Structures are given as C-alpha cells and as structure tokens.
Amino acid sequence: MAWDNIISRMSWLFLQPSNLLVILLLISVLGVFFINPNHKRYRTFVKLNIFVVVIMSAISFTNLASWIMWPLEARFSEYKELSLDENYSGIIVLAGSERTIISSYVNQATFSNAGERIYQTVAVAKKYFRLTHNSYWRD
C-alpha cells in the first residue's frame, strides 16, 4: 500500500466528525482525571467535556442529522433521463441491497434500505425494453 494512501486514511480516521467527537471526549475525560483541579487548564477540559457530551446527545437523541441533510437533498432534483434516442445494451445495478442470509433462510428476496436500487432498475428496464421490444414484454 502506498504511503499517501496510508496517510490519507489515517488523517480521515481522525478528521471524520463522529471519530473526532469520540477523540475529543477521550481527551477531555483524560484531562479531567489526570490534571490537578487547581491547574488552569482543568476548567478548559471540563468545558470541552460538557460541550462534546451536549453535541453527541443532540446528534443521538434528535433529528439533527436529518435537519442538516434536508437542505442538501432538496438542492438536487431527481434524475430524469432526457435522451431516448440511444440504444442501451444493459443496466448496471450496485450490489448491497439484498440481505443474503435472510433471503437464503426464507427462500425469497429480502432487501435492506437500499432495495430501491432493484425496484428502480426494474422500472428502467420496463421503460427501455418496451421502447425497443414492445411486442415481447408481458405485464
């Protein structure tokens, strides 16, 4: 593995917001336990500890993540295919939407939250297959 890849992965490990909060919590807790209460930095560690706990509680017990994501999701419209003139030779579906263990146990397809990939693939396949092979498609 190249050094730049290792460095980027390690830096992302520390800069990822969820990991950064846990690291800050560990630093603040260690600071509170190992620094003398009369030291001038003790109050800073206590304030950091309270701040991180409040932020983690707000993220855990409220819809803060959804409230932050809604404006980002609303900024982009749903994808719509504009060109129907080209011939398509296939559709690529990303994996990871089927729960294989449960599906093999109950002998039928069971999907996770990413199951919409399969449903949308079927809708697109019906749309383009009808355009090219109208007499062969059965509903």
Report the predicted TM-score, pTM, of the whole model to 2 decimal places.
0.49
Section 123-129 average pLDDT: 77
Section 51-80 average pLDDT: 84
Picking from 92, 88, 139, the residue whose alpha carbon sits closest to that of residue 120 is: 92
Residue 51 — pLDDT band, cuts 50, 70, 90?
Answer: very high
Six-digit token pair at 92? 């690529």
**pLDDT on residue 83:** 59
Count other C-beta atoms under 10 Å from residue 20's C-beta.
13
Average pLDDT, the chain: 81
